[in-house]
A and B are shown apart, each in its own frame.
Chain A
C-alpha cells in the first residue's frame, strides 16, 4: 500500500515568516488531502487537490500538487500563532476509491 512521507518533521518559525511543508508519496496519487490537527484533537480538513498542477488557496495557506513527482507542498505566507499545529497529508491508500492513509505530520510552532 501507499506511504506518505512528510518533511520537515517539525518546524519553528518566527511570526510573519513564510514556510513550506512537503508531502511525497511512494505511489501514484489519486487525490491529495491536507489536514491540520491541534494536539489531542481531531483533524480539520484544509483542502483537497485532484489534478497535477492544481493549486488551491485558503486564507494564507496555499497547496500545490505535482503529480509527476508524486508530491504536494503546503505553503503558509506571513505565519501567525494561529497557524501552529500539526499538518498532515492524506491520500487514498490503495488507489482511487479507497480510504485515506496519512503521513506522520509536520509540527509547526510559530513564535511571536
Chain B
C-alpha cells in the first residue's frame, strides 16, 4: 500500500518551533516531500528529501527522515503568522510517476 498519514491539526505560538509529523507505508519510497497550501491556493513545494538522507536543512525548515520507522517530520523554526496553512506530506516510489499525499496538517499560528 501507499498510505501516508499525518496528524490533522497543530496550534503553535508565534516565534515557537512547529513540528509536523508524517508516517508512510511504502518501503520503496524514494523521494519524500513537504507541500504548503494556503486557502484558495494550489500546492507550494517547500522542500523534499531523498530516501538515502536522514536530514535536510533549508533556512527555517528542517526535514528529518527515519527510514527504518518510515517517519518523516518537518520542523519550522521561529514560526510566523504567514506559516498558517495546510501542510502535506507526500511520497513517490522509484517509478516516480505519482505522488501519494497525506490528508494534510492544518497549522494555526497564534499571537
Q: Does A associate with B in a complex?
A: no
- Please give the residue numbers on chain B whose beta carbons come within 8 Å of chain A beta carbons, in ascending order: none
